[in-house]
Structures are given as C-alpha cells and as structure tokens.
Structure 1
C-alpha cells in the first residue's frame, strides 16, 4: 500500500465523524460520502472484468455493502430540529458498521499486498476470478453500495420525520 492508499482509506473511514456529530440532511451532506467513494473509484478503477466468476464476486461485494449500509442507516437516529430540518446522528452501532465496512477494505488491501497475496491468488484461481482488477472493482462496488444504501435509508427516515402531520378531518 502506498501513502495515497492509506490517505484514501483514512478519509473514507473518517467520514464517520460528521455522522457521529450529527448532520443536517442537506443535499451536500448526503452526497459527500458518495462523492468520496466516487473519487476513490476514479483513482483505483482501471477495468471492470466480466470473465470467469468476476460478476458473482461483484454481486457478493454489492450485497455485503448494501447489507452494511442498510444496517448503518437503520442504526442512525434521525430527528427533527426546531427549524423543521432533519438531523441524522449515528450512534455507536452505526459508526461501528461504517468503520467495519470502510476499514475492512483497507485491511484486505493491506493483507493482499503483504502476506495474503498467495492465498488470494490461490482462491482466485480456484474460483475463476480473473485477478486484481476484479477484486478492486468488487471492493469499490461494496463501498459504493454501502454508501448508497445508508443514504437511501437515512433519506427515507428524514422524509418521515419532516413530513407534515396529517390534518384530522373535522366533522361539521
């Protein structure tokens, strides 16, 4: 791993800090993690192989990311503040899920560039995964689906919190 790899991984993990402090549900705050993952994808993604079982690897990565994102969003509290805006605040469980998702990818990359390279090569060969480009794409897809799933869950919660209360019918 290069210094840039460490910095990108740290930046993605540290996106949890505003979530813990609480963020108003503005378009900017909602899209910041998505833009960060998109920037990482632009930096790392060189190809998107579809041979062998690469597509199945992508599906697994996407499903794991979506599950982490949904769980993270479900564990995020959304409340309405005095001015009527929604504020999302991640508790310990939501923060832990975020960190697990983001840090596990960095840990995997570290492992593959150190002692795990032969294990991954053997696994890839046995399971018809074409190589590093497929793993990179799967891990980026996992990050993207985690961010998107959390975003969707939190936005749905925010909409429910800020929706006007139904007006009771008045009998004449």
Structure 2
C-alpha cells in the first residue's frame, strides 16, 4: 500500500464518522458515497479477470460486501422528523463498515508485509490467475457494500415515510 491507498481508505473511513454523527437523508448523502467509491473503482479497477476461479473470488467478495452493506443499512437508526428522515449509524452499523474496510486494508497490508508468498500459493492452489483478480474482487466488494447500504437505508426510509403517511388522517 502506498500513501494514495491510505488516503483513499482514510476518506472512506471518514464516511463512517459522517454516518455516526447522523444527518437528514438528502441528495448529498446519496451521491457522495457513490461518487467516492466510483472514483476509487476508476483508480484501482483496470479489468475484471474471469479466467480460472477469478470470477468465483470476485462473486464471493462482492456478495460479502453486499451482505455487509445490507447489515449496515439494517442496523442504521432511522427517525422521521419534520424536515424528512434522518439516519444515524449506531455501533453495529459503524462496526460492520469498519470491518469491511479493515478486512480490505488488512489484506493489502499483509500482502505488502510478508504474506505475499502465502497469497500467491493460495491463488495457485485455488485457480486464481492474477493479482488483478484480487484487486477487482476487493474493489467490487467495496462497491457492493456502499450500494447495498444505500439501497437498504433508502428502502427503509421509503417504508418509514409510507407507513407514516398511511397512518395520518386524510384532510377534509
């Protein structure tokens, strides 16, 4: 990992701080995570290898990211207020987000600090054809985590506003 990698991961971790602080669900907190993770994908993702078991690796990590994102979205506290729905990540939501980040950063750190041969052996044994497959898998994992979290929160917010609107008496 280089300084850029740490910087990108630091920005993504700052999203957790923003989520823990809480805010009204608006266009900014919908677009900002998508823009940041898309920029990250553009920076790291050169290709998505599909040879050997590369696709399996990518699907497993993408699925793991989606699962983390949904769990994060389900454990985020939503509250209806006069100006709209507010979301605030609690301990569980923040912990899940940080776990995903730490998993990806830990893998990169381990690769740079002595585990490279073990990862190469694992890759050969399991038919993973290149380091780009690992890069693609981790980038897709992060992308899936962000999108799944946003979808879960927005769906829950929609249900919250729909159920609130349904219980209000009709104007005469």
TM-score (norm 2): 0.93
Helix, strand or coil at the partner of 2:113 = coil
Q: Is the contact between residue 20 and residue 91 of structure 1 (CA under 8 Å) also seen in structure 2?
A: yes
Q: Which region of structure 1 is more displaced relative to structure 2, 72-81 or 155-164?
A: 155-164
- Report what 2:12 is aligned to: 12
The alignment yields a C-alpha RMSD, in angstroms, of 1.4
Distance 2:91 2:99 in 1: 12
Distance 1:120 1:72 in 2: 29
Q: Over residues 133-161 of structure 1, what are the superposed CA-to-partner deviations in whole Å (9 max), with x where a residue is unaligned?
A: 00000000100111111111100111122
Report 1:32-71 matches (<5 A). Answer: 32-71=32-71
Helix, strand or coil at the partner of 1:113 = helix
Helix, strand or coil at the partner of 1:46 = coil
Higher helix share: 2
Helix, strand or coil at the partner of 1:116 = helix
- Report what 1:136 is aligned to: 135
TM-score (norm 1): 0.93
Give the direction of change, closer, same or farther, for the CA distance of 1:167–1:9 in structure 2 (3 Å limit).
Answer: closer
Distance 1:167 1:21 in 2: 30
Structure 1 regions of 5+ residues with no counterpart? none
- Report what 1:123 is aligned to: 122
Q: Which region of structure 1 is more displaced relative to structure 2, 3-12 or 22-31?
A: 22-31
